Amino acid sequence: MERIIILDFGSQVTQVIGRRVRELDVYCEIYPFNKFPFADPEAKTIPEDVKGLILSGSPFSVRDANSPKVDLGDFEGKLPILGICYGAQYIAHTQGGAVEASNTREYGRAELTVAEENEPVFKDIPKTSQVWMSHGDSITKLPEGAVLIASTPTVRNAAYKIAEKNIYAFQFHPEVFHTAYGGTMLRNFVKGVCLCKGDWTTESFIEATVKDLKAKLGDDEVILGLSGGVDSSVAAVLLNKAIGQRLHCIFVDNGLLRKNEFEDVLEQYKDMGLNVIGVRAADRFMEALKGISEPEGKRKAIGRTFIEVFDAEAQKIKNAKWLAQGTIYPDVIESSSVKGPSATIKSHHNVGGLPEKMNLKIVEPLHSLFKDEVRRTGRALGIKRELISRHPFPGPGLGIRVLGEVTKEKLDILKEADHIFISNLRTYMTELPPASNGFAAEEADLSPVFAPSSGKRLIPLYDAIWQAGTILLPVRSVGVMGDERTYEYTIALRAVVSNDGMTADWVHIPYEFLAKVSNEIINKVKGVNRVCYDISSKPPATIEWE
Ligand code: XMP
């Protein structure tokens, strides 16, 4: 095992650095800058499997009194180091160079010219190429012993190295898509400088995890809550591979899932050989939601009822010692991040009280994986593409998409409308969008269909979208149908693209598609006479309406 450590100074894109390193089949971990990342903080010993260190960017200036600081002496000369943006400035600032405020904040594309043809970190990169800059300060004097290795027309010290300490520093961001050869630069650092072999693959992850789970769980019984989503499903299959039928999965029908979803997904789980108990509890959830119209109140009622139903079912499983959860790496980073648990997202830990209540030990087989790695792992484990590529769906489900108080009537209307929208997204074919970050893996995940007539590569519109759904507005408006006046509900359609749900943009869905869906909903779903499309981005809106 070999790993790269990324120290996070609070940049928006630190996680992207992690994903890029993982794409090189090299395992990496992200830690807040203010914590020595290894077990032995006193002796400051660096474990042998750690092959290199990357310092991230930051919203701070190194000149700020309260800027994030790290003792580079702990790592210098012991590991190859790459500083990115703030990281590059921090190295300059602390090693005898100078960083000064520049008159203009430089943000955007720039043309990088490599100074030295044989520089290993720029191997296989043209003499000039596009990079992405985002900084206010500039490095005006290089640190002691540093050599300039690349410049742009406006930023002379765009990249430097301190050869005897094996330190590299880039003022630009190699991790973002707009840096044309960013992936190659990171490969050169990780494989050429840190000498990582790159043997961390999906297959090796599965093999190692199954072995670990076997050792950790022994003959114990384990309980896992399935949600129908990607994370819990992949966690279940991985555990099933390790301990077989000693994994007891519980899948609760809260009545707030999509049309036919409970039955369909339960069937798929059984086909996958999982030992799964389906619990029908829709009535209990409806009862709990009665009279509540405020969003957080609804979330709490749903969360509480879930815990009660799940706990009652779990009590029936004798000798259970473990609760398995589908926690993934972004959740882990989030809860220990520099900024602290983010204030920008709603509490997603709807069942946060569950582990304490049940008095079980926690096992989280996916805690080191990013979302795209979870999907890849799922595919390698033979889970159907249909399940793997499902959009995220909130725990409280349609309960927060019927705005205001949830009634059976409104819920039924919403289920029908949602079904029409989602089915059409699955059948409507669209041109493969340019990969959002230019890296091939994501594109391959979409498995496009080649349309010989047009020469275009097509995918279902559903797959070009990060998340989609319908919302039932709690107001009625006037319409006319045949000769009759109607007074019915409005359905809003929502479709967004996003990387992680923290920010999102509305999808520019073709008009003809919107027309078809609107027609079908108004004609087929009784109780709806108007359809709108939500064209708000996050921020300032959120993905869900409640
Ligand atoms: P927002 O609405 O905050 O949503 O922009 C961001 C992402 O989180 C999902 N979401 C939830 N997921 N429980 C969940 O499990 C919740 O209470 C919850 N609220 C929002 C939302 O669907 C989107 O993917």
**How does pLDDT run across 258-280, given as a tens digit for each residue?**
999 999 999 999 999 999 999 99
Domain with CATH 3.40.50.880 in the chain: 3-193
3-class DSSP state for residue 201? coil
Is position 175 annotated as part of the catalytic site?
A: yes
Range in 161-170, 401-410, 495-504 the model is least confident about: 495-504
Cis link prior to 396 (omega < 30° from 0)?
no
**338 with 68: CB under 8 angstroms?**
yes
Interhelix angle for 230-243 vs 371-380, to 10°?
Answer: 50
Residue in 93, 135, 173, 419 annotated catalytic: 173
Residue intervals of the chain classified under CATH 3.30.300.10 are: 401-533
| Cα–Cα distances in angstroms (integers) from residue 215 to residues 2, 243, 266, 438, 458, in the given order | 21, 10, 29, 39, 45
SS3 540: coil
* Tens digit of each residue's pLDDT (9 = 90 or more) over 95-122: 999 999 987 677 889 999 999 889 999 9
Q: Determine the pLDDT at residue 480.
A: 94
CA of 447 to the centre of ligand 1 (A): 27
For residues 320 and 221, the answer to whether their CB atoms sit within 8 Å is yes
Tell me the one-letter amino acid at 161: K
Residues 404/474, Cβ–Cβ less than 8 Å: yes
As its CATH architecture, domain 202-388 has 3-Layer(aba) Sandwich (3.40)
CA quadruple 177, 180, 183, 189: dihedral, nearest 10: -130
Indicate the pTM of the whole model.
0.85
Residue that wins the pLDDT comparison between 443 and 36: 36
Q: What residue owns the CA closest to ligand 1's atom 9?
A: 394
Q: Which of 118, 108, 64, 111 is nearest to 90 (CA)?
A: 64
**Chain segment 43-89, per-residue pLDDT in tens:** 889 999 999 999 999 999 999 999 999 999 999 999 999 999 999 99
The Å distance, Cα 544 to ligand 1 centre, comes to 6
User: How far apart are alpha carbons 36 and 32 in whole angstroms?
Assistant: 9
Give the residue whose CA is nearest to atom 10 of ligand 1. 394
| Separation between Cα atoms, residue 468 and residue 471, nearest integer Å | 10
SS3 447: coil
Rounded average pLDDT over 32-39: 88
Q: What digits encode the pLDDT tens for the residues 409-418? A: 999 999 999 9
Mean pLDDT of 172-187: 94
Backbone angles phi, psi at 431, to 5 degrees: -70, 140
Q: Which residues are near ligand 1 (CB < 6 Å)? A: 299, 345-346, 348, 350, 392, 394-396, 467, 501, 538, 542-544
Residues forming CATH 3.40.50.620 domain(s) in the chain: 202-388
How distant, in Å, are the alpha carbons of 190, 308, 324, 473 from that of 477? 60, 39, 47, 10
Sign of CA dihedral 463, 496, 436, 374: negative
| pLDDT higher than threshold 90 for residue 189 | yes
Buried b or exposed e, range 331-350, using 16+ CB within 10 angstroms = bbbbeebbeeeeeeebeeeb
With contact defined as beta carbons under 8 Å apart, do 5 and 17 qualify?
A: no
CATH architecture group of domain 401-533 = 2-Layer Sandwich (3.30)
535 Cα to the center of ligand 1, angstroms:
18
Strands (E), 144-246: 147-151, 159-162, 167-170, 221-226
Alpha-carbon distance of 494 to 251, in angstroms, equals 27
Radius of gyration of the chain measured on its C-alpha atoms: 26
Q: Which of 209-223, 331-345, 460-474, 532-546 is least confident?
A: 331-345
SS3 526: coil
> In 347-481, where do the E strands start and end?
361-363, 429-431, 449-451, 456-460, 467-481
3-193 CATH pick, 3.40.50.880, 3.30.1370.100, 3.30.1360.70, 3.40.50.300: 3.40.50.880
What is the pLDDT at residue 450? 60
Q: Which of 175, 313, 416, 546 is catalytic?
A: 175
DSSP codes, 396-417: TGGGGTB-SS--HHHHHHHHHH
Catalytic: 173?
yes
**Distance (Å, whole) CA 459 – CA 448:** 5
**Can you read off the two tokens belonging to residue 439?**
């890296």
Query: How much distance in Å is there from the Cα of 77 to the middle of ligand 1?
Result: 44
Per the CB < 8 A criterion, the answer to whether 7 and 33 are in contact is yes
Residue 30 has pLDDT above 50, yes or no: yes
Give the pairing type, strands 167-170 and 81-84: parallel
Residue of the nearest CA to atom 22 in ligand 1? Answer: 394
Of 492, 498, 495, the C-alpha closest to 468 is: 495
Average of per-residue pLDDT values in the chain: 91
